[in-house]
Structure 1
Amino acid sequence: MFFLINQHLNYDYHSLTCIIIRSILSLLTSFFFNIYIGKFFINCFKKLKIYQIIRKNGPKTHFLKKNTPTMGGLFVIISILTSIILYSDLSNFYIWSVISVLIGYGLIGFIDDYKKIKCNNSKGIPLKWKYFWLSIVSLIFEYSIYIYGQNITPHQFIIPFFHKIVLHINYFNIFLSYFVVVGTSNAVNLTDGLDGLAIFPLILLACGFAFISLLTGYSDYSDIFNIFYIRNSSELTILCASIAGSGLGFLWFNTYPSQIFMGDVGSLSLGGSLGAIAVLLHQEFLLIIMGIVFIIETISVILQIISFKIRKKRIFLMAPIHHHYEIKGLPEPIIIIRFWIISFLSVLIGIASIKVH
C-alpha cells in the first residue's frame, strides 16, 4: 500500500530515508494494532476457555496461572502481517521467504496448542511429528533460497569478529540453515516459560537484525562496517521492525502477572522467523551471540537429559534453567529481568562484533 502511494509521489521507495521511515511506521503500527486487538483476543479466549495447560511436573507456582488465556501469538502474527502488507515491498523475495516460515510455523504451533487444549494435557502434537513438519517448512524455505534466491544472495556466511573469514559451503548450507531455523524456533519455545521471558529477548533480537539488515542492504554502509553486501536485503528492516513492534504490543499484556501467554503458535513462528532472517543475512553465528539467552536455555535442557541418561543424576533442579532458579526460591520477576539484562548485553556485544573498516 505504502509502495503504491510512493509510486504516485515519484519518491525513491528504497532510499535509506524511506526505509527508516517505513521501519518506524511499521513498528508503531504493529505495536498500536496489537494493543487494539489484544484485549479483544484476551476476552474472546476467556469466553472460549482457551487456557494455558500447565505441566503436572512443572513448578507448583505455575498452577496459579491455569486460568490464563494462551495462543496470544495469533494476534502477534496478525499485527506483523498487517504491518508488512502496509509498508513493505511485497515483490521482495526476502519478505516472502520469512512470511512463509512465520505462517508455516505459526500453523504448526496453532495445531499443537489446539490439541493441548482439546485433550487437556501438555503433550500436544507427538514430538516426532512436530519436528517432521517443522523440518518440512524449514527445508522448503532453504530450497527456495537455493533455487530462487541464488541470483541475489550467495551461499556464504560470516563469522563475527573475523569478517575477513567468509565460508563458502554451497549445498551444505541447506542443512546448516535447517538447524538454525528449526533450532531457533524450539529454543524460543523452551524459553517461553515465564511471563515476558521470551518476548523481550525476541524484541531485542529483532532490533539487532533490523540494524544489521539496514547496513547489509546498502553497499556503501556494508563496506564501511565490513559487512557482506546483500542486494535488496534492506527490506528485512521493515519486517524486523514489525516483529519488534508487535512484540512490544504483546509484552503490554504479557508482563508479570501475565494476562495472556504466547503459546506455541507464537514462540515457534517468531523463533523460526528470526532464524530465517539470520540465514538470509548470512549471520547464523551472530544469532548465537545475540540470542544467547535462548542458547543457554536449550543447552540446559540438553545437559539435563544427557546427565540423567548417563549418570542417572540431574544437573539442575529442573530444566530449562529458569525453572531451576524458580525452585531455588528466586522470585519470578527477578529471574525475568536478569534474563532480559543478559539478552540486552548479548545484542550489544553482537552489534559490537561489526568492525568499522
Structure 2
Amino acid sequence: MMVSVILYAVITGFIISVLISPFFIPFLRRLKFGQSIREEGPKSHMKKSGTPTMGGIIILFSIVITSLVITAIFSELNKETYLLLLVLLGYGLLGFLDDFIKIALKRNLGLTSLQKLIGQIIIAIIFFLVLRAHDFSTEIQIPLTDFSFDLGWGYALFIIFWLVGFSNATNLTDGLDGLLSGTAAIAFGAFAILAWSQELFDISIFAVSVVGAVLGFLVFNAHPAKVFMGDTGSLALGGAIAAISILTKMEVILLIIAGVFVIETLSVILQVASFKLRGKRIFKMSPIHHHYELSGWSEWRVVVTFWAVGILFSILGIYIEVWL
C-alpha cells in the first residue's frame, strides 16, 4: 500500500511540474525575469544571461499541492507536514524576495547578506518553538554508536545553524544547469526511504513529493536550461531537507546524504580562508563545480559526475542508518 502511495506522490509531483512549466516559463520571459550572470563567474556562463529565473515557484507549487493532496487522501495531515511546508515556503519566500530584488531592482546580489541571514534565523526560530511546544526531543544521536547527547535549549542554536547552513549550501550548489535539481532529487529520495523505514509516512510523502517536483523541473532545467530555479527554489530545498533530518532525528546522517552540498560549501570556505591567510587560491574558482569547468570539463560532465557522487553518498547514508 505504502509503495503505491509513494509512486502516486512522485508521479503527481512530476506531472504538475511538467504541465505548468511550459505556461510559466514564457510568463517569466514576458515579465523579463531573466537571470543576471555575475561578471566574476565563468565566461562561458555569460550566454545564459536572460534565461528565465524564479522557476523555484514551479517546484514549490508542485510540492505543496502534491504533499497536501496525497497525504490527505492516504494518510492524515499532521504537524510534521505543516512544519515542513512552513520551512519550505518560508525559505522560498525569502528566496523569492532575493530574486525579485535582483531582477526588478537590478541589484545583482539581491538581499544583503544580513537581511537574508535575519530572515533565515527567524524561520528557524519559529520552527524550533513549534517543536519545543510539542516536547520534541533535543537529543542528537551519533550514527554507528549508542551515544547521544542532549543539547537542551542549545538545540535552538543547532536548528538555526542547520537550517541556515543547508539553505546556503544548496544555494551555492545551484550553479550549473540541472546540478541542484538532480542532487536534490537524490538526497530527498534517500530521506524518503529512511523516513519510510521509520514508518514516518507523512515525512516520506513530503520527501517524494519534492523528488517528483524537482525531476519534473529538471526536464526544463537540464543543460541547456530553459529556466533556473533561483534562490526561490534553492533556499527552500536546503531548508526543507535540513528540517526533514531534524524531524526524523537523523541530523548527522544529513552530512553524508547531502555530502555534495557539504563539499560545495567547504570548497568556498577553504577558498576564502586560503586567499585571506596565504594570498593564494586552492581552486581555480569556487564553489568547486566551477573548478572542474575551468579545468576543461563540459558542464554536462560536471553535473552527471556530481549526481553520481550524490548517489554514492545517499547509498552510504542509507546503509549506515538502516543496515549497520
TM-score range (shorter-chain normalised) is over 0.9
Match of 1:120 among 89, 106, 118: 106
Normalised to the residue count of structure 2, the TM-score between the two structures is: 0.96
1:134-283 → structure 2 map (5 Å cutoff): 134-147=120-133, 149-150=134-135, 153-162=136-145, 164-217=146-199, 233-283=200-250
Which protein shows a greater Rg?
1
Q: For each residue in 1:64-89, what CA deviation from the matched residue of structure 2 results, as whole angstroms up to 9, or x when unmatched?
A: 10121111100100011111221114
For residues 141-199 of structure 1, the C-alpha deviation after alignment (integer angstroms, 9 at most, x for no partner) is 0111111x21xx4222222222x223222222121122111111100000000001111
Where 1:80 maps in the other structure, the secondary structure is: helix
Q: Which consecutive unaligned segments of at least 5 residues does structure 1 have? A: 1-16, 218-232
Question: After the TM superposition, which of the residue ranges 280-289 and 89-98 deviates more from structure 2?
Answer: 89-98
Distance in 1 (alpha carbons) for counterparts of 2:59 and 2:176: 18
The alignment status of 1:93 with 2:79, answered yes or no, reads yes
- What corresponds to 1:111 in structure 2? 97
User: Is the contact made by 1:161 and 1:355 (CA closer than 8 Å) also made in structure 2?
Assistant: no
Report % sequence identity: 37
Alignment correspondent of 1:130? 116
Asked whether the equivalents of residues 105 and 137 of structure 1 are also in contact (C-alpha less than 8 Å), the reply is yes
Counterpart in 2 of 1:12?
none
Shift of 1:316: 1.2
Please name the residue that 2:56 is paired with. 73
Asked if 1:44 is matched to 2:27, the reply is yes
Aligned to 2:39: 56
Letter in 2 for 1:173: Y
Shift of 1:237: 0.8
Judge which range, 325-334 or 131-140, deviates more.
325-334
**How many aligned positions are there?**
321
Q: What is the alpha-carbon distance in structure 1 between the residues aligned to residue 321 and residue 101 of structure 2?
A: 44
Which of 241, 252, 270 is equivalent to 1:285? Answer: 252
What is the match of residue 30 of structure 1? Answer: 13
* Pair 1:315-2:301 in alignment: no
Q: Distance in 1 between matches of 2:159 and 2:50?
A: 38
User: Aligned partner of 2:32: which letter?
Assistant: K
Counterpart secondary structure, 1:70 = coil
Shift of residue 355 of structure 1? Answer: 4.6
Conserved? CA contact 1:53–1:121, under 8 Å: no
Contact 1:291 1:346 in 2 (8 A): yes
1:300 positional shift: 0.6
> What is residue 353 of structure 1 aligned with on the other side?
320
Q: 1:356 deviation in Å? A: 4.1
What is the rounded CA distance, in whole Å, between the counterparts of 1:234 and 1:85 in structure 2? 13
CA distance in 1, matches of 2:291, 2:322: 37
- TM-score using structure 1 length: 0.87
Cα offset for 1:21?
2.7
Supply the distance in 2 between the matched residues of 1:257 and 1:323 (Cα, whole angstroms): 16
What is the CA–CA distance in structure 2 between the aligned matches of 1:354 and 1:96, rounded to whole Å?
A: 25
- The residue identity in structure 1 corresponding to 2:79 is F
| Long gaps (5+) in structure 2 | none
3-state SS in 2 of match to 1:193: coil
Residue-by-residue CA offset, 1:1-39 (whole Å, 9 max, x unaligned) = xxxxxxxxxxxxxxxx2x433222111111001100011
C-alpha deviation, 1:131, in angstroms = 0.6
Query: CA separation in 1, counterparts of 2:10 and 2:224?
Result: 25
Deviant stretches of 4+, over 6 Å: none
